[in-house]
């Protein structure tokens, strides 16, 4: 078997025309989960707090806000969009696309591709690679790719501390209109049973102790390493880096394994204050990084989704970022909007109280 590690490069250069983030208002502190399930033992909590969606929010409404923010920066006619792809593991319908609702609401229908992606936490970056392909082939001028989740962990499970809500959206288009060019992508995927949720089940399961080494670390480091090798770049060539962030520790460890410094991942490291936003986790790190980046900055982003796989992206910021950055709310604006809730309110808001 030959190995084909060639990077995914579009035949015409593409980039990010507009980007937008969304984080809901409510926060559940991790020590509140600890109070309920482990007698308040707070040593080794994975994050400080996580973002919780309001009673009237779901992946449709959150995607819509992130996409609208991306469009405010892109400043294009929504009718020119030819695809709306939304990655999530918590689409509100099992059958009926989130993407059609979002596309209709932004005025992009009917001449579009629309579909929902699912690949655990990397469904959003998978949508981005598809958008790169559609635009990069010349088939379309603009495509929207988004990744958002309202993830749930089983009550009392380790995941309950971190499973959060939020995400980001991007308008992908020709490089010459971009605020950041998408130079290349590379995906590393295997069949790894680290984490899953069966149909009709509310909560996911972990496979053995696969979460770390054989799943997250293996795929993230492989994708990152191959990307650097194939490009002939080294960590110091990048101003910033973003890794999937299921908790505070994993992305910091993978950064150091690949040779990136804490400073490089700092703006994108949001899991301590918003939790693991699943399909939105890596890409909301990217929006937060774009919020502070300068023209010429180079960014490496590596997502990870259980099951398992990682998508790596090589990105360069252009000078168009400066004129568009302030056209919409920034990631930190949403993070600053914060109302703390207790576990009882969280249980109500997330439908954990049996009503029938």
Using CB under 8 A, list all residues that contact other proteins. 24-26, 54-58, 60-61, 64-65, 92-93, 101, 104-107, 326, 329-330, 332-334, 336-337, 339
Q: Is residue 244 annotated as a catalytic residue, yes or no?
A: yes
Residue 253 vs 327, nearer CB to other proteins: 327
Min dist CB 22 to other proteins, Å, is: 10
Distance CA 348, CA 115 (A): 31
Q: Is residue 118 annotated as a catalytic residue, yes or no?
A: no
Distance CA 284, CA 290 (A): 10
Considering 49, 65, 89, 160, which one is annotated as catalytic? 89
Neighbours of 5 (CB within 10 A): 12
Min dist CB 256 to other proteins, Å, is: 30
Residue of 70, 78, 87 lying closest to 19 (CA atoms): 70
User: How far is the first Cα of the chain from the last one, in angstroms, to the nearest whole number?
Assistant: 55
Residue 206 vs 325, nearer CB to other proteins: 325
Residue 57 vs 314, nearer CB to other proteins: 57
Contact partners, residue 194, CB within 8 Å, separation at least 6: 206, 207, 210, 211, 214, 215, 216, 306, 307, 308
Asked if 173 contacts 179 with a C-beta cutoff of 8 angstroms, the reply is no
Tokens standing for residue 55? 């009673």
Min dist CB 222 to other proteins, Å, is: 37
Residue 229 vs 333, nearer CB to other proteins: 333
94 exposed, middle or buried (CB, 10 Å; 0-12, 13-18, 19+)?
exposed
Min dist CB 278 to other proteins, Å, is: 20
Residue 54 vs 207, nearer CB to other proteins: 54
Residue 170 vs 334, nearer CB to other proteins: 334
Asked if 343 contacts 324 with a C-beta cutoff of 8 angstroms, the reply is no
Min dist CB 250 to other proteins, Å, is: 27
Q: Is residue 206 annotated as a catalytic residue, yes or no?
A: no
Q: How far is CA 255 from CA 215, 223, 244, 282, in A?
A: 16, 12, 10, 13
Q: Exposure string (b/e) for 159-186, b if CB count within 10 Å is 16 or more?
A: bbbbbbbbbbbbbbbbbebbbbbbbbbb
Tokens standing for residue 287? 């929006």
Distance CA 74, CA 126 (A): 21
Min dist CB 52 to other proteins, Å, is: 12
Considering 49, 57, 91, 121, which one is annotated as catalytic? 121
Catalytically active residues are 89, 121, 244
């Amino acid at each position: 078997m030959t190995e084909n590690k060639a990077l995914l490069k579009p035949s015409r250069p593409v980039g990010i025309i507009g980007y937008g983030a969304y984080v809901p208002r409510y926060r559940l502190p991790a020590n509140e989960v600890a109070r309920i399930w482990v007698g308040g033992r707070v040593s080794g909590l994975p994050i400080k707090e996580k973002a919780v969606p309001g009673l009237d929010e779901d992946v449709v409404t959150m995607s819509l806000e992130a996409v609208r923010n991306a469009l405010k920066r892109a400043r294009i006619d929504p009718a020119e969009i030819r695809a709306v792809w939304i990655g999530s593991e918590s689409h509100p319908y099992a059958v009926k696309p989130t993407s059609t609702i979002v596309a209709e609401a932004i005025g992009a229908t009917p001449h579009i591709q629309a579909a929902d992606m699912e690949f655990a936490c990397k469904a959003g970056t998978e949508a981005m690679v598809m958008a790169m392909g559609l635009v990069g082939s010349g088939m379309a001028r603009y495509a929207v790719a988004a990744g958002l989740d309202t993830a749930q962990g089983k009550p009392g499970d380790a995941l309950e501390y971190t499973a959060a809500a939020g995400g980001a959206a991007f308008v992908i288009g020709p490089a010459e209109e971009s605020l950041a060019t998408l130079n290349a992508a590379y995906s590393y995927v295997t069949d790894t049973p680290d984490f899953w949720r069966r149909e009709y089940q509310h909560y996911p399961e972990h496979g053995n102790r696969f979460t770390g080494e054989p799943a997250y670390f293996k795929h993230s480091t492989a994708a990152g390493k191959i990307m650097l090798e194939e490009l002939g770049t080294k960590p110091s060539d990048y101003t910033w880096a973003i890794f999937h962030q299921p908790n505070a520790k994993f992305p910091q460890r993978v950064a150091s394994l690949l040779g990136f410094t804490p400073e490089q991942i700092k703006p994108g490291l949001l899991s301590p204050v918003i939790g693991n936003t699943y399909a939105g986790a890596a890409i909301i790190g990217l929006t937060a990084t774009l919020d502070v980046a300068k023209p010429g900055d180079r960014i490496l982003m590596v997502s990870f989704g259980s099951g398992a796989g990682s998508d790596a992206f090589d990105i360069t910021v252009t000078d168009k970022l400066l004129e568009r950055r302030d056209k919409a709310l920034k990631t930190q604006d949403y993070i600053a909007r914060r109302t703390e809730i207790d576990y009882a309110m969280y249980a109500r808001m997330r439908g954990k109280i049996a009503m029938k």
